Chain A
Amino acid sequence: MSTAAASAIQLGLQSCEGCGLLSRPEPGEEEGTCPRCDHELEFRKAGSIERSWAFLIAAAICYVPANVLPVLTTVTAAGRESDTIMQGVVLLWSPTGWPLSLIVLFASIMIPSAKILALAYLLITVQRGSIQNNAQRIRLYRTVELVGRWSMVDVFVDAFTVSLVQLQPLMSVEPGPGLFFFAAVVVLTMLAVESFDPRLIWDAASPREVRHA
């Protein structure tokens, strides 16, 4: 097998996620240490699929209260009014404010749900040993990795609305119970992406038996 078309795992080599160095483990060893940066090395991230599923399922569970429970409660002389994430988007919709409303809709509603679906798709296809659409799947993974952080926008909006609108007894804003679950969805999906090892996408197409050949 020529070097040009082989995976490192097929050649019995491990690359370091910390510093990028390619190195050879002791014969027969599955685990080693990077001689350059002292990072622990494995052929693939340990328990990648299991960890990724665990974070993803936890995120999917938090997704429900994140969207049903209010994230903000506005207290005025007229009474209390609570808004969920979606109500926040609707409230922001106005002849001048609609572009921001779209940004929040995209960041808070579309990205979290698309992210959960996309990761589930990646995990299922990897587990089924799919060899199709590898290029599209790695692009999907990179997109999820890139846009995921923008879901935090709503957490910051609510944090700074709460800290600024403190004009008791005239008007004040309090955070609602949904905010915790919403932040949990963002963090858990980011951890799920970080646990997923994209190299698994390519493994089904390059079987490992030639290792140590």
Chain B
Amino acid sequence: MVRPYNHPLTDASLIACLHCDLVQRLPDLASGGSARCPRCNKELWRRREDSLNRTLALTLAAAVLYVVANTVPMLGLTVVGRAASTTVLGGARHLWQDGREIVAGLVLFTAVIAPGLQIGFMLAIVLGATRDTPPRWVGALLRLHPTTRTWSMIEVMLLGVLVALIKIAELATVIPGLALFALGGLVFLFAAIQSSFDSREVWSRVAWAEPDARRAVAAAGLDEAQA
């Protein structure tokens, strides 16, 4: 079944709250200003200053830390002359070897794959959006990005590693590795990316799926929400 394209409204500032469906008009915000839904108090939009450049800088830094975090040892231990160490990937590998393939896959996905996609998508989105006419795939990645953010659990993993570290510290001497510090930096960078990125700004620049829709609206010139 082919789903027909919807018709956009003439007034692009009209939106509906995604948490309570209340139709409202977004005010034109100053940099740093935010708008909340009057019915359910959801933050609808926060206008970021110099969003694309700042996000690009932070995402590049995150990409470097991501590579470091996944290549160098994260934790080491020594006990009675024996030593062992593990990386982020090692956490998933041992679960796999012990026959817990599904849990291993989940750890791999939430600790390595989803954060990697999150960084990669964001980099592509920002680089694509700075072009004069951002291509369609920028929109496709932007739509997928919230899902990668939901399943990217670096901060949860870091807490888990710290708990494991303290548990093991009772039995052996634990040596925090470089990756642990890279992960700590990554947590802050992800938070900073989230608070510097303005998805509404990118959406307003992206090429539409149905190129005729926007022109038709401009020609119609009536406020359809009032119809």
Residues on A close to B: CB < 8 A?
A: 3-9, 11, 13-15, 17-26, 29, 31-41, 91-92, 97, 100, 103-104, 107, 134-135, 138, 141-142, 149-150, 152-167, 170-171, 174-175, 179-180, 183, 187, 190, 194, 198-199, 201-203
Contact = CB atoms under 8 A, between A and B. Distances in A.
Interface in B30-55: 39-42
A160 B164 contact: yes
B208 A36 contact: yes
B210 A35 contact: yes
A34 B209 contact: yes
B218 interface: no
Contacts of B75: 160, 164
Interface string B211-227: 00110000000001110
A141 to B, nearest CB: 8
A14 B6 contact: yes
Interface of B: 3-9, 14-16, 18-25, 39-42, 74-75, 77, 79-80, 82, 84-86, 90-95, 98, 100, 102-104, 106-107, 110-111, 139-140, 142-143, 150, 153, 156-157, 159-164, 166-168, 171, 199-200, 203, 206, 208-210, 213-214, 224-226
Contact of B23 (A8, A25, A163, A175): A8
Nearest to B99: A175
Contacts of A5: 22
B40 A22 contact: no
A98 to B, nearest CB: 11
A33 B23 contact: no
B95 A162 contact: yes
28 contacts: A3-B226, A8-B22, A8-B23, A18-B143, A19-B206, A21-B8, A21-B15, A22-B16, A23-B7, A23-B8, A32-B6, A37-B139, A37-B142, A37-B143, A92-B163, A92-B167, A138-B40, A141-B19, A156-B91, A160-B75, A161-B164, A161-B167, A164-B75, A164-B77, A179-B95, A183-B106, A199-B21, A202-B21
B203 A19 contact: yes
Contacts of B84: 164-167
Contact of A153 (B41, B42, B86, B159): B159
Given A35-B213, A36-B206, A160-B86, A11 B225 contact: yes
Given A37-B143, A162-B94, A180-B102, A9 B21 contact: yes
Given A36-B209, A190-B150, A159 B7 contact: no
Contacts of A25: 4, 6-7
A33, A159, A162, A201: most-surrounded residue (chain B CB, <10 A): A159
Given A7-B23, A37-B143, A163-B94, A149 B9 contact: no
A183 B9 contact: no
A199 B19 contact: yes
Contacts of B203: 19-21, 36-37
B77 to A, nearest CB: 6
Nearest 9 A/B pairs, CB to CB: A156-B160, A23-B6, A8-B16, A38-B209, A35-B213, A15-B16, A163-B94, A18-B143, A159-B91
B3 A201 contact: no
B94 A29 contact: no
